[in-house]
A and B are shown apart, each in its own frame.
Chain A
Amino acid sequence: MSFFLLLSVAVIASCGLIYELIAATLSSYLLGDSVTHFSLIIGIYLSSMGVGSYLTRFLSQRAIEKFIYIEFLVGVIGGISATLLFALFYFAPFFHFLLFGLVALIGALVGAEIPMVMRILKERMEFNDLVTRVFSLDYVGALLASVIFPLLLVPRLGLMRTAFLFGLINVAVGLVGYHVFRRHVFLHRRVQVVGVLSLVLLACGFVYAERMRAGIEDFAFPGEIIHTQNTPYQRILVSRSDNDVSLYLNGNLQFSSADEYRYHESLVHPVLAHASSRTNVLLLGGGDGLALRELLKHSDVASITMVELDPAVTTLFRTHPVLTHLNARSLFSPKLNLLHEDAFAWVKANTQVFDVIIADFPDPSNYSLGKLYSDAFYRELRRALKPGGVGVVQSTSSYFAPRSYWCIGQTLRSVGFQTLPFHLYLPSFGDWGFFLFGHEPLTTQPDWRPVETRFVDAETFATLTSFPKDMRHQDSPRNSLNDQVLVRLFEEEWSQVASR
């Protein structure tokens, strides 16, 4: 019996250290800044251990049974800790407090373990012998855990499964303890049921850890996830609910099939109507093939050069049945010349000229993307646009970020373009703005071709160029590579939206 108890000291010491390492590691993964969180978590954990060991003085009655229950409890809470924290991070407010609370709870339970063992053993051993043996085994267990955690467990099992594994070990200690001390236990059935249930729960967790992780991520987005993928550039996620398919890049909504036609029709048909010729089109971005679908409605568009950074996006929109239905298999068009390159680098090296240029980039939310809205970039577009040619650029929300919107127009004008601003309402995004741009003043008599549309036509477009008072033109600075005003404006305006 004493042998069992001493062995269990080494095992539970390992488990205790593992839970703490998991909490600390996970918090640095999720929250960043490892130093602060590591030391805070160690501090909370150690002080809670003190609290736990103090509390054991109230547990001296039927100590063996209580020890067994503590093992079950440590096993279950410690075992689910990583999964729970991961889920709470996405769904719960005040994540920090929940994290620290959980760490304190586990710490208190772990802190109670060793004193409980000593309470049980003190009747069986000499005090000096007891203390030295218990603590040396305690240290051995801790050392073992600290070595295998980084070398074996994290790389092989991952944090969630490591936690479940050690939870299982804790529960096993409890069950073996029950077996060894069954003569000292009063309520047999209860111990058996709780122990076995804990064991089953943790085993299921261990087996289904990966699925749970995927499930937690899925749940963070509405609807059913039909595709997720990490590419060198971004995380792609496609979700589907009843009548809607949505694309998220790095967690940002790119389109929703319920109203994407409004966006893509307005991106494509007005610019074609304003161009004097539309034989050669340059499409920057747009790997989803939706703008392409609109372009292909025009039979006089003979060739489309598409520069899309991420090959994974076009591959996905060429292969997934739901998505090829959405873009009408436009990415298979023989008119398409598809290039997977960085748009800035490509435009800089390009020597071709085009009748129509469509720039459909992600919003200028950082200094890398901001380069694609700079005067230097627009100077390259000027070189690439034929006389009489017209371009269009998606220009963020003219309602939520009006200063950013007008800054894009100002930057276009600063390189010598004439512009025509317009905007429309997208239910899933809000009010969204665009600029048409060309070398010459944009014609007041655009040549609208009769193609099938659901939203935009000559009559509608006339209303889109009128801006209500709260969105009207305001003086904005020019966005240049050396001074990316736009990125700062964008950041400022959207953070105000977020804090509303």
Chain B
Amino acid sequence: MDIAIPDRRAFLSLARDAAASFLPSAWGTNAVPGGAEGPNGTLGHAVGNVPLSARPPDKRVRVAIVGGGVAGLSAAWELRRQGVEDFVVYELESRAGGNAAAFAPRAAGFPSRAPLGAHYVTMANEESTDLRMLYRELGIITSHENAQEPAYEPTYCCYDLNSRVLADGVWEKGLLPLSRLTPAERAELERFESLMDDMKGRVGRDGKPWFALPTRLSSTDGEAWALDSETFDAFLRRQGFQGEAVHWYARYCCRDDFGTEPSELSAWVGVHYFAARRGRARNIQNTTILTWPEGNAWIVEKMRASVANRVRTDHAVVYLNETSAGIGLGVFDAVRGRMEVVMADRVIVAAPSSVFAKLVPSRSRDEAPFVWHPERLCPWMVANVVVASHGVESDGGRTGARSVGGKGVSLAWDNVPYGGRSLGYVVAAHQMPVARPRDHLLTLYEPFSALPSRVARARWQNSSDRDVKTYVLDELERMHPGIVSSVRRVDTWFWPHAMPQPGPGSMTALWKHNAALALTEARKGSRIFHAHSDRSGLSLFEEAHDWGTTQARVCAKGLD
């Protein structure tokens, strides 16, 4: 008679799983306010699908910049530096900043804006002169007397504690739960670190570093670029790394910066993450990142404010029309709902490669842009969660008091679940002059790198606001059981095409393409410039800034 017992057990455990997955959503997800939003897809998809207007131009401008993200604003910044003041920046979203934008959360009284994307930059390498100049102009670098080790503004450098990681219910300092790893895993991590330190020091035969940030400054040495022919995962295995910890760490970093699984990422890019940041500081520990409560939107806002009267948000450039008199731009004013025609001498298209291809369709084969296929554009979710501070604060070591926040080391800037689905969350108040805020703003990040991008986009679009909120709260519940009752608001933002996924070979292809394009442009004296991090394949502030700056410089030179 006992034979049927296993059936019962099997069923019970199924029912139990169902109950367990029910728990968080039943704890009042519905009652939590907030919304699910994303970039303006309707307007974005209208680009290139609007017929040319025969109207005479409504206005003239020397330079039109299409796109008010980091590349566009960097281009504007550089144009002013070059003495060009007659330009306009068109941004189709209602806020500038692109992937580095921020918004004001509607929760009462929170003193910071909330990031919708990029959250930090790093200390600039010595050869990254444009970036360093920007840092000086923004007051991020306070003293440049010592070129190797400039002084950085301490309030912009990440406060202690930089990161903590959750494993087996205990928070531990750092990105890896070292105390829980086997000696073999720890030894492997040390070997990995020293391998990456070695990569940091590599210099090519052309005298340039193997890995530079922006990538444009990297060596063209074939030995370095051989790494582009394999995946990062293959590279790690070829180097004999077997342990879970190294692979998890590598995967975490690859997802964080490139939205890509190591098994699909160019090894050159993977190593670049660890080896390209050589910036040092005189007054701060070298590895410290630079961050602000609102993320990189702080930099964006400084750049935007300096040209505020020349930035038109809610303005979509829907076509470009090259004529002998100049370049006609069809600009759709989404607020007033009307088209205007603008004639410009030069246009800097600071928009993704797909937008550039739509705006500048024809031209010869060697001028055709390198367009990232939608399948190679990783979608991201960024969730801003307002939570009563007692929901995440733990008390620290002394009493071992058991609070909802959890056990182990207390709240850090970056809070990572080891082996988690998401990348964890960043705490806005951490970088503010506040010791104990009543509410915390957590920004939870998740790239959908493990799914085909098409599938992730479709799933998200078919999800209700409630599904989305449950999805976010489930992840937070896993990190802080019981947190749901302290959550006041959840605002999710979905980037359907957040960043390119540079697979093996793509960096070499981009490099060749960019070199060829630069040659033809120089020969013909181009009037349209493409400035976007898509041209580097790495969706990083430093790349966008570099393209904006260098293209603006070429553009300004042509105007003389």
* A50 contact set on B, CB distance < 8 A: 5, 9
* Stretch in A22-30, A96-104, A427-435 with 4+ CB within 8 Å of B: A22-30
- In the bound complex, CA of A495 to CA of B12 (Å): 43
Tally of contacts, chain A with chain B, CB under 8 A: 191
- In the bound complex, CA of A29 to CA of B378 (Å): 36
B1-59 interface (Cβ within 8 A of A): 1-2, 4-5, 7-9, 11-13, 15-16, 18-20, 22-23, 26-28
- B388 in the interface (beta carbon within 8 A): yes
* Stretch in B152-160, B465-473, B510-518 with 4+ CB within 8 Å of A: B152-160
Contact A251 B435 (CB under 8 A): no
With A34-B481, A131-B4, A155-B26: A368-B435 Cβ-Cβ less than 8 Å: yes
Quote the shortest CB–CB distance from A279 to chain B (angstroms).
27
- In the bound complex, CA of A210 to CA of B399 (Å): 26
* B16 contact set on A, CB distance < 8 A: 17, 20-21, 24, 42, 146
* Stretch in A416-424, A444-452, A460-468, A478-486 with 4+ CB within 8 Å of B: A478-486
- In the bound complex, CA of A247 to CA of B76 (Å): 59
* A241 contact set on B, CB distance < 8 A: none
- In the bound complex, CA of A142 to CA of B403 (Å): 33
Quote the shortest CB–CB distance from B465 to chain A (angstroms).
20
Contact B397 A495 (CB under 8 A): yes
* B406 contact set on A, CB distance < 8 A: 32
- In the bound complex, CA of A250 to CA of B481 (Å): 18
Quote the shortest CB–CB distance from A268 to chain B (angstroms).
22
Contact B285 A118 (CB under 8 A): no
With A31-B169, A343-B435, A482-B288: A366-B393 Cβ-Cβ less than 8 Å: yes
- B395 in the interface (beta carbon within 8 A): yes
With A20-B16, A46-B9, A490-B398: A368-B393 Cβ-Cβ less than 8 Å: yes
A102-124 interface (Cβ within 8 A of B): 114-115, 118-119, 122
* B155 contact set on A, CB distance < 8 A: 376, 481
With A480-B154, A482-B284: A345-B434 Cβ-Cβ less than 8 Å: yes
A4-35 interface (Cβ within 8 A of B): 17, 20-21, 24-25, 28-35
* Stretch in B215-223, B299-307, B352-360, B407-415 with 4+ CB within 8 Å of A: B407-415
The listed residue with most B CB atoms (<10 A of its CB), out of A20, A32, A38, A54, is A32
- B436 in the interface (beta carbon within 8 A): yes
- In the bound complex, CA of A367 to CA of B411 (Å): 7
Contact B13 A367 (CB under 8 A): no
Contact A139 B288 (CB under 8 A): no
* B411 contact set on A, CB distance < 8 A: 366-368
The listed residue with most B CB atoms (<10 A of its CB), out of A21, A155, A482, is A482
- A371 in the interface (beta carbon within 8 A): yes
- In the bound complex, CA of A368 to CA of B429 (Å): 9
- In the bound complex, CA of A116 to CA of B54 (Å): 90
- B433 in the interface (beta carbon within 8 A): yes
User: Chain B 366-398, CB within 8 Å of chain A: the 1/0 string?
Assistant: 000000000000000000000011100111111
- In the bound complex, CA of A232 to CA of B109 (Å): 14
Q: Which of A146, A234, A344 contacts B19 (CB 8 A)?
A: A146
* A344 contact set on B, CB distance < 8 A: 433-435
Contact A366 B9 (CB under 8 A): no
Contact B481 A32 (CB under 8 A): yes
- A170 in the interface (beta carbon within 8 A): no
B203-228 interface (Cβ within 8 A of A): none
Contact A155 B399 (CB under 8 A): no
Interface size on A, residues (CB 8 A): 75
- B402 in the interface (beta carbon within 8 A): yes
- A69 in the interface (beta carbon within 8 A): no
Contact B481 A29 (CB under 8 A): yes
Interface size on B, residues (CB 8 A): 66
* A119 contact set on B, CB distance < 8 A: 1
- B478 in the interface (beta carbon within 8 A): yes
Contact A115 B169 (CB under 8 A): no
- B437 in the interface (beta carbon within 8 A): yes
- B279 in the interface (beta carbon within 8 A): no
- B554 in the interface (beta carbon within 8 A): no
* A34 contact set on B, CB distance < 8 A: 20, 477-478, 481
Contact A233 B438 (CB under 8 A): yes
Q: Which residue of A lies closest to B26 (CB)?
A: A150
- A352 in the interface (beta carbon within 8 A): no
- In the bound complex, CA of A385 to CA of B406 (Å): 38
* A30 contact set on B, CB distance < 8 A: 402
- B456 in the interface (beta carbon within 8 A): no
Contact A139 B438 (CB under 8 A): no
- A294 in the interface (beta carbon within 8 A): no
- In the bound complex, CA of A206 to CA of B19 (Å): 23
With A342-B436, A366-B411, A484-B161: A491-B396 Cβ-Cβ less than 8 Å: yes
- A370 in the interface (beta carbon within 8 A): yes
- A135 in the interface (beta carbon within 8 A): yes
Q: Which residue of B lies closest to A401 (CB)?
A: B398
With A154-B26, A487-B160: A36-B169 Cβ-Cβ less than 8 Å: yes
Contact A482 B18 (CB under 8 A): no
Quote the shortest CB–CB distance from B16 to chain A (angstroms).
6
- In the bound complex, CA of A9 to CA of B134 (Å): 74
* A259 contact set on B, CB distance < 8 A: none
A172-217 interface (Cβ within 8 A of B): none
With A29-B481, A46-B9: A483-B160 Cβ-Cβ less than 8 Å: yes
Q: Which residue of B lies closest to A369 (CB)?
A: B435
The listed residue with most A CB atoms (<10 A of its CB), out of B160, B161, B399, B437, is B160
Contact B394 A366 (CB under 8 A): yes
* A325 contact set on B, CB distance < 8 A: none
- B482 in the interface (beta carbon within 8 A): yes
- B168 in the interface (beta carbon within 8 A): yes
- In the bound complex, CA of A209 to CA of B212 (Å): 64
- A149 in the interface (beta carbon within 8 A): yes
Contact A342 B26 (CB under 8 A): no
- B455 in the interface (beta carbon within 8 A): no
* A139 contact set on B, CB distance < 8 A: 8, 11, 15
The listed residue with most B CB atoms (<10 A of its CB), out of A49, A345, A363, is A345
Quote the shortest CB–CB distance from A371 to chain B (angstroms).
5
Q: Which of B390, B393, B397 contacts A494 (CB 8 A)?
A: B397
Quote the shortest CB–CB distance from A480 to chain B (angstroms).
7
Contact B435 A342 (CB under 8 A): yes
- In the bound complex, CA of A479 to CA of B205 (Å): 44
Contact A53 B5 (CB under 8 A): yes
Q: Which residue of A lies closest to B6 (CB)?
A: A50
Contact B397 A309 (CB under 8 A): no
Contact B434 A146 (CB under 8 A): no
* A146 contact set on B, CB distance < 8 A: 15-16, 18-19, 22
Q: Which residue of B lies closest to A37 (CB)?
A: B169
- B401 in the interface (beta carbon within 8 A): yes
Contact B26 A348 (CB under 8 A): no
- A143 in the interface (beta carbon within 8 A): yes
* B393 contact set on A, CB distance < 8 A: 366, 368
Shortest 10 CB-CB distances between A and B: which pairs?
A: A33-B169, A366-B410, A365-B396, A366-B396, A484-B160, A32-B169, A251-B401, A146-B19, A146-B15, A150-B26
Could you show 28 A-B contacts with beta carbons less than 8 Å apart? Answer: A17-B15, A32-B169, A34-B477, A34-B478, A38-B20, A53-B2, A118-B1, A131-B1, A147-B19, A154-B27, A155-B28, A232-B390, A233-B438, A251-B399, A252-B395, A309-B436, A345-B111, A363-B398, A365-B397, A366-B393, A367-B161, A367-B412, A371-B434, A481-B155, A482-B159, A491-B396, A491-B397, A494-B398
Additional 4 contacts, C-beta under 8 A, given A365-B399, A376-B154: A115-B5, A142-B12, A345-B434, A363-B398
Which B residues are within 8 Å of any A CB, using their own CB? Answer: 1-2, 4-5, 7-9, 11-13, 15-16, 18-20, 22-23, 26-28, 111, 154-155, 157-161, 168-170, 284-285, 288, 388-390, 393-403, 406-407, 410-412, 430, 432-439, 477-478, 481-482
Which A residues are within 8 Å of any B CB, using their own CB? Answer: 17, 20-21, 24-25, 28-36, 38, 42, 46, 49-50, 53-54, 114-115, 118-119, 122, 131, 135, 138-139, 142-143, 145-147, 149-151, 154-155, 230, 232-234, 250-252, 309, 342-345, 348, 361, 363, 365-372, 376, 480-484, 487, 490-491, 494-495, 498
